[in-house]
Amino acid sequence: MSDIESAQLSTDTTPDIQGGRERGIVLHKLIEEVLTGETEETVTALTARAETLIHALGQPVAHDPASGLMPAELAGCVTRALAAPEVAELRPA
């Protein structure tokens, strides 16, 4: 299973995710960049950008979200957050 497939887990399985300051910074920046049009709203683009941001923070890229910052998991989180009905409704405004 690829990292991208791992990030697109069904709602029946929830991975253990390590939270923290750096995770919040990356998520905030990714969402901001999608909303301003700087980054495409695709899993591929978000995964690549997440990896760049992780490196910019001086953090290692993890292959398991329970052990650190995993780009594909972060990309999936942003995609799901922006697709939430409450958020999707406000985006055109």
What single DSSP character describes residue 74?
H
* Strand positions, DSSP E, the chain: none
Tokens 């972060």: give the residue: 74
CA 80 to chain CA centroid, Å, is 9
Token pair in block for residue 91: 């985006």
Q: Would you write out the chain's pLDDT as a tens digit for each of its 93 residues?
A: 555 555 554 445 666 888 899 999 999 999 999 999 999 999 999 999 999 999 999 999 999 999 999 999 999 999 999 999 999 999 887
* Residues ≥6 apart with Cβ < 8 Å to 54: 22, 26, 60, 61, 69, 71
Q: Rounded to two decimals, what is the model's pTM?
A: 0.81
